[in-house]
Amino acid sequence: MAAVSGLVRRPLREVSGLLKRRFHWTAPAALQVTVRDAINQGMDEELERDEKVFLLGEEVAQYDGAYKVSRGLWKKYGDKRIIDTPISEMGFAGIAVGAAMAGLRPICEFMTFNFSMQAIDQVINSAAKTYYMSGVAAQHSQCFAAWYGHCPGLKVVSPWNSEDAKGLIKSAIRDNNPVVVLENELMYGVPFEFPPEAQSKDFLIPIGKAKIERQGTHITVVSHSRPVGHCLEAAAVLSKEGVECEVINMRTIRPMDMETIEASVMKTNHLVTVEGGWPQFGVGAEICARIMEGPAFNFLDAPAVRVTGADVPMPYAKILEDNSIPQVKDIIFAVKKTLNI
Amino acid sequence: MRKMLAAVSRVLSGASQKPRHGFAMLPSLVSISRLKQSSQLGLPKCWDYSYSLKTRQASRVLVASRNFANDATFEIKKCDLHRLEEGPPVTTVLTREDGLKYYRMMQTVRRMELKADQLYKQKIIRGFCHLCDGQEACCVGLEAGINPTDHLITAYRAHGFTFTRGLSVREILAELTGRKGGCAKGKGGSMHMYAKNFYGGNGIVGAQVPLGAGIALACKYNGKDEVCLTLYGDGAANQGQIFEAYNMAALWKLPCIFICENNRYGMGTSVERAAASTDYYKRGDFIPGLRVDGMDILCVREATKFAAAYCRSGKGPILMELQTYRYHGHSMSDPGVSYRTREEIQEVRSKSDPIMLLKDRMVNSNLASVEELKEIDVEVRKEIEDAAQFATADPEPPLEELGYHIYSSDPPFEVRGANQWIKFKSVS
Whether A153 and A218 share a structural domain: no
Structurally, chain B folds into a number of domains equal to: 1
Which string of DSSP letters, residue by residue, matches A115-178?
HHHHHHHIIIIIIGGGT---EEEEE-SS--HHHHHT-TT-EEE---SHHHHHHHHHHHHH-SS-
Structurally, chain A folds into a number of domains equal to: 2
Q: Would residue A13 count as lying in a domain?
A: no
Amino acid at A74: W
Q: Which residues of B35-66 are buried (b: 16+ CB within 10 A; e: fewer)?
A: beebeeeebeeebebeeeeeebeeeebebbbb
Q: Would residue B283 count as lying in a domain?
A: yes
Q: Would residue B37 count as lying in a domain?
A: no
Contact assessment for residue B358 and residue B103, using Cβ atoms and an 8 Å cutoff: yes
Q: Would residue A26 count as lying in a domain?
A: no
Whether A122 and A226 share a structural domain: no
Q: What is the dihedral of CA A98, A104, A105, A107, to 10 degrees?
A: -50
Which chain B positions have a beta carbon within 8 Å of A126's beta carbon?
A: 202, 204, 207, 211
Question: Cis ω on the peptide bond leading into residue A255 (within 30° of 0)?
Answer: yes
Q: Would residue B377 count as lying in a domain?
A: yes
Suggest the residue from B198, B202, B209, B221 to mutate for an interface test with chain A (most A CBs closer than 10 A). Answer: B221
Q: Positive or negative, the Cα torsion across B203, B204, B205, B208?
A: negative
Contact assessment for residue B152 and residue B144, using Cβ atoms and an 8 Å cutoff: no
CB count in 10 Å sphere of residue A2: 6
**A141, A173, A199: which is the final residue of a domain?**
A199
End-to-end CA, chain B? 68
Q: Does the beta carbon of B286 lie under 8 angstroms from any beta carbon of chain A?
A: no
Q: Would residue A321 count as lying in a domain?
A: yes
**A176, A199, A222: which is the final residue of a domain?**
A199
A141-154 residue pLDDT tens: 567 899 899 999 99
Give the residue on B whose Cα is nearest the Cα of A102: B215
Nearest to A288 by CA among A305, A307, A268: A305
Q: Would residue B408 count as lying in a domain?
A: no
Give the residue on B whose Cα is nearest the Cα of A127: B211
CA distance A104 to chain B (A): 7
Helix (H, G, I), strand (E, B) or coil at A169: helix
More confident residue, A65 or B293: B293
- The β-bridge partners of A82 are A55
Range of the domain at A305: 211-339
A128-143 residue pLDDT tens: 766 432 323 332 356 7
Q: Read off φ and ψ for residue A26, nearest 5 degrees.
A: -120, 150
CB count in 10 Å sphere of residue A201: 12
Q: ipTM for the complex?
A: 0.71
Cα B394 to chain center, whole Å?
26
Range of the domain at B294: 82-401
Q: Would residue B304 count as lying in a domain?
A: yes
Does residue A95 surpass a pLDDT of 90?
yes
Give the residue on B whose Cα is nearest the Cα of A294: B420
**A171, A199, A227: which is the final residue of a domain?**
A199
Whether A273 and A156 share a structural domain: no
CATH number of the domain within which B153 lies:
3.40.50.970
**Tens-level pLDDT at each residue, chain B (428 residues):** 555 555 544 544 444 444 444 433 434 333 334 444 444 544 444 444 444 455 545 545 544 555 799 999 999 999 999 999 999 999 999 999 999 999 999 999 999 999 999 999 999 999 889 999 999 999 999 999 999 999 999 999 999 999 999 999 999 999 999 999 999 888 888 988 999 999 988 888 899 999 999 999 999 999 999 999 999 999 999 999 999 999 999 999 999 999 999 999 999 999 999 999 999 999 999 999 999 999 999 999 999 999 999 999 999 999 999 999 999 999 998 999 999 999 999 999 999 999 999 999 999 999 999 999 999 999 999 999 999 999 999 999 888 888 888 888 899 999 888 777 888 898 88
Q: Would residue A16 count as lying in a domain?
A: no
Nearest to A88 by CA among B239, B203, B256: B239
Q: Would residue A75 count as lying in a domain?
A: yes
Q: What is the pLDDT of residue A128?
A: 75
**Contact state of A95 with B217 under an 8 Å Cβ cutoff:** yes
Suggest the residue from B217, B229, B413 to mutate for an interface test with chain A (most A CBs closer than 10 A). Answer: B217
CATH number of the domain within which A295 lies:
3.40.50.920
Which chain A positions have a beta carbon within 8 Å of B207's beta carbon?
A: 94, 121-122, 125-126
Nearest CB among A95, A125, A153 relative to B406 is that of: A153
- In A186-251, at which residue ranges do the beta strands (DSSP E only) sit? 191-193, 211-214, 219-223, 245-249
Whether A140 and A224 share a structural domain: no
Q: Would residue B180 count as lying in a domain?
A: yes
Q: Would residue A17 count as lying in a domain?
A: no
Supply the Cα-derived Rg of chain A in whole angstroms. 23
Q: What pTM value is reported for the model?
A: 0.79
Whether A246 and A302 share a structural domain: yes
Q: Would residue A260 count as lying in a domain?
A: yes
Q: Would residue A266 count as lying in a domain?
A: yes
More confident residue, A38 or A313: A38
Whether A255 and A118 share a structural domain: no
Helix (H, G, I), strand (E, B) or coil at B129: coil
Whether A181 and A231 share a structural domain: no
More confident residue, A297 or B409: A297
Q: Would residue B406 count as lying in a domain?
A: no
**Contact state of A90 with B240 under an 8 Å Cβ cutoff:** yes
What is the bridge-based pairing of β-strands B256-262 and B318-323?
A: parallel
Q: Would residue B35 count as lying in a domain?
A: no
